[in-house]
Amino acid sequence: MKPKTTRFISTILDNLIWLLVAFALIIFSSLSPSFRTPYNLVNILNRTAALGMLVIGQAFAMMSGNFDLSSESGLGLTAMVAGLFLASVTNGGLGVEVSPIVAILLMIVVGLTIGLINGFLITRLRMNNLIVTIAMLMILRGLVYIISPGATASFFPEGFDWLGAGALFKIPLTKGFLAIPVPTVFIILAFIIAHIITRYTQFGRNMFAVGSNPVAAKDAGIETDKIIRQVYLISGFCMAIAGLLAAGRLDSATPRTGEGLIFPVQAAAVVGGVSLFGGRGTMIGAFGGFALWSILDAGLSILKVSPFWIEASRGLLLLFAVGLDAIKVKGMHRRALEESLASTHIGLKDDKVVTD
């Protein structure tokens, strides 16, 4: 295959997510007038903002060559901790009724602690990141049930709910008003900040180097263990903010808050171009994956598709994402081989091998 053709195919694959997003929007808009209403379009990302924060945390982990499968339970634990300290006894809380700021700080402390423990076990004790985070997934969910215990905490102060359920301003329409949700704007800004960090900071460059080749990165003087610990701290922080968005949107926290999100998080990140093998991907692409997942979730729900088909479609999307990543990696290996052989004495462009 010619280099120009190879580069063209690579460009298409790298930007395929935006073609899929446009295709999904066109299909659902044509199938349902309800889908293309201003209210629904504005609220597509609003409903899944918590998922978006977990995608950001997962993207950081995957770019560094790691995984964090504990994020959905971390979301649940931070949300429940806040709920217990915010709600009155009659509403399922401890009766402490702290201020929203104190509750949010508690959530961030819990999230960072989870990230700190994950990073310590992986870098200090050299435990496998996949096993560690799966174990944390189960431990944290168990803790949620232990501290709740099995009850719902609800009716939080308005200041706490603002990030997850507030409106920035209202746009007058022919009939009523269109409120611009805070979560929609917040999650877009969060992805922009994450993109700046990964692309335009020394930390971001070091993180990609660690994800691409940790041995070479260490030989180049990069503190690989420190980078990985920082990545897990970022993931823990994202769990806390996701918990804030989820609890604020529902005005409650249950022992099941966040359950079932871990595979959508993985699928959104991978279909957005973040490699399972580390060292490759962008936050803009990850945002595209998150947007596609949100569009599918909203569109299939509006069309009243059976929950079984919705689950099957999610599995297909995850399988497609993994297959796409495998194709990209195979293409990268092929290009590397072509470039390596082209620089040898014989070269790939020779019609035949010349022997003495």
Got the DSSP string for 304-342? T--HHHHHHHHHHHHHHHHHHHHHHHHHHHHHHHHHHHH
- Judge whether 24 lies within some domain: no
DSSP class per residue in 111-122: HHHHHHHHHHHH
- The pLDDT assigned to 343 comes to 61
Is residue 29 classed as helix, strand or coil in its secondary structure?
Answer: helix
- Judge whether 52 lies within some domain: yes
Calculate helix-pair angle for 224-250, 202-212, nearest 10 degrees: 110
- Judge whether 345 lies within some domain: no
Give me the mean pLDDT over the 209-224 stretch: 95
- What CA–CA distances, in Å, run from 188 to 107, 122, 164, 199? 22, 31, 14, 17
- Judge whether 157 lies within some domain: yes
* Greatest mean pLDDT among 35-49, 192-206, 327-341: 192-206
- Judge whether 213 lies within some domain: yes
- Judge whether 209 lies within some domain: yes
Parent domain of 147? 47-261
Identify the DSSP state of 343: T
For the stretch 325-346, pLDDT in tens is: 777 777 666 665 566 556 655 5
Identify the CA nearest to 46 among candidates 245, 293, 261: 245
Give me the mean pLDDT over the 135-153 stretch: 94
- Judge whether 284 lies within some domain: no
- Judge whether 103 lies within some domain: yes
Q: Please say if the pLDDT value at position 353 is more than 50.
A: no
For the stretch 84-102, pLDDT in tens is: 999 999 999 999 999 999 9
Q: What is the total count of domains within the chain?
A: 1
